[in-house]
Structure 1
Amino acid sequence: MAADAGFPCARPVTDADQLGPGLVVSAETWRPGGTMHAGGGRPFAARSAELLANLTGILETQSPTGLGPPPPWMHWNPPTGRLWPPNPAIDAMDQDLVPDRVHATARAVSERLARAELPLVVGHGDWESQNLRWNDDHPWAVHDWDSLVALPEAAIVGAASGAFASTTIPTLAPIEWSEEFIGSFQLARGRSFTEEEREVAWAASLWPALHNARGESLFHSPPVTLDALTRQGRERLHRAGVR
């Protein structure tokens, strides 16, 4: 549908076939080329948000029914009732390596998003710079369509506002970039978020970073996202309505 509407993406050439539990295959046209934007920035935040808004408008007629659970970096309320979505390999690791503040912030975010009463929509759940390609300022290709999610629009936008600048190493965008992203999305969509949607967006902006910070701690990786969370976490929680 997105390709038919002129959105810059590869066109599917087969249906998705399930070969077994957790294994689905499909085929799409080859769409090489374009350049990944590195470095983030407020102008890029606006450009990326406008592209996401365009996609959101195209997908708004699609039913979210039938989509599976979100990927773990968007799965803040797993049905198990646990804080983190189940992952046997990750769960078997020493969780004491993860700072208490990461667990505490994740719990606050999860509880805030669980209270949201917003309709679900279909959206792209991995809106990082590494999945977008551009020709100068013009979008050429959006990749990673196996990350479609059924979540509130504000949550999809919020998560993207925190993750949009990530390239090979995930990070958390500065607050002013996220602010630009959320504002530009609303402008492109032609409507302003309600207070509830604004809070949901800021809460969701934290979850991909929390997921990545947990991974950094467990795998002894440089604390890129963890350091950003330390600097920004309190302000983002405040904007999410978490006091």
Structure 2
Amino acid sequence: MALDDLPDWLPGWCLDHLGGEPAAVLFELNQISTVWGLRLAGGADVVVKARADDGRAASCVAAQARLAERGFPCARPLTPVVGVGSLAVHAEQFRPGGEIVHGESPDVAVRYAEVFARLMAELAGVTVTAPLPNPRWVRWDHTDSGLWPAIGFLDERDQSAVPAYVLDTARRARERLLAAGLPCVLGHADFEAQNLRWHRRQLWAVHDWDSLAWQPEAALAGAASGAFARGTGLPTLAPIESSEAFLAAYQNVRGRAFTAVEEQVAWAASLWPAAHNARWEVLHGQPPVCGEALRSQAAERLRRANAC
């Protein structure tokens, strides 16, 4: 990407908030946020993130800053969130390098669970305004009229293509989650291998702090236990024995066993992101990677969730 292709507002924003205009573009990524890696005049490398301002960003960045201050391996925010028209924009430290650890075995699950437990323990000491609404793949707590949260670009597609087993799984998992009435905490809701980097056995960085959520601890752990294995490519659902190993290791590191209700909530929460992703695959004509895993695992996960 060339400098001339940057948004008109970005050079001036960098000058005002970072002390220099962009001199080179290192990379650009477009997902929910647009992310630019920039080399500023003067030589500093930074990352600037911009996303639609839905009110979540300030809390997410504030929590990320607290963890960075404590030495947790994540990029340190360089600015608070700044409104630019309809966008929420901030800059953070450029933290390149490291490798993705791939795999979905129980041993890999334990490795990721240990990091998630450490992350959740750190966030337990952070006080910010709840980052609501929650990311759509963990937004089972929505108050919209249908099964799914209202998301225009998904809702406008042909919903009749979504398989009945996906709808049934999502409904049953959601009902179990909502019935539990557990207190909410701050947690990372996109805990996938693609968002972590390692130097051999040493954790180097956890990314995607835009995806913090406000949900029960057991639900966040459950969602992570199902989603952790996604390294590259489409989302997937980890094998049941790996989710089981993840949840056991998480509780061990945290030093507290889940109650029976929390165990059920964790299993229910492992299903909602998978159902969301299975729906996404169908509506976008993608291979049913998550859909097939959900088809084969849903009955057992629902049984463990006590989701009738």
TM interval, short-chain normalised: over 0.9
Q: Percent identity?
A: 52
Task: Quote how far apart the aligned CAs of 1:81 are.
Answer: 3.3
Q: What secondary structure sits across from 2:69 in the alignment? A: coil
Q: Bigger relative contact order, structure 1 or 2, given CA contacts below 8 A and separation 6+?
A: 1
When residues 232 and 225 of structure 1 are mapped into structure 2, their CA distance, relative to the original with a 3 A threshold, is same
1:150 to 202, 210, 214: 214
Give the aligned partner of residue 35 of structure 1.
Answer: 99
TM-score normalised per structure 1: 0.96
Per-residue displacement from partner, 1:124-161 (whole Å, max 9, x unpaired)?
A: 01000000001111110000010011111001000000
Cα distance between partner residues in 1 of 2:144 and 2:84: 26
CA distance in 2, matches of 1:114, 1:66: 18
Please state if 1:125 is matched with 2:189: yes
- Where in structure 1 are there 5+ consecutive unaligned residues? none
Q: How many angstroms does 1:77 deviate by?
A: 2.4
Q: Residue 262 of structure 2 is aligned with which of 180, 197, 213?
A: 197
User: How much does 1:40 deviate?
Assistant: 2.3
Question: Which residue is equivalent to 2:271?
Answer: 206
Shift of 1:58: 0.8
Separation in 1, partners of 2:187, 2:141: 17
Q: Residues 200-230 of structure 1: CA distance to partner in whole angstroms, max 9, x if unpaired? A: 1000001111011001111121111111011
The amino acid that maps onto 2:96 is P
**1:241 counterpart = 2:306:** yes
> What is the root-mean-square deviation in Å for CA atoms of aligned residues?
1.2
Higher alpha-carbon deviation: 106-115 or 60-69: 60-69
Residue 139 of structure 2 corresponds to residue 57 of structure 1:
no
Aligned to 2:71: 6
Distance 2:93 2:220 in 1: 26
**75-84 vs 231-240, which moves further:** 75-84
Residue 206 of structure 1: SS of its match in structure 2?
helix
What are the Cα deviations for residues 156-211 of structure 1, in whole angstroms up to 9, with x where unaligned?
A: 00000000001222100000000000000000001100011100100000111101
Q: Aligned pair 1:107/2:171, yes or no?
A: yes
More strand by share: 2
Aligned mates of 1:236, 1:30 — CA distance in 2: 39
TM-score (norm 2): 0.76
Separation of aligned partners in 2, 1:20 and 1:104? 40
What's 1:167 paired with? 231
Aligned residues: 242
Query: Structure 2 stretches of 5 or more lacking a match?
Result: 1-65
Whether the 8 Å contact between 1:64 and 1:120 is mirrored in structure 2 is no
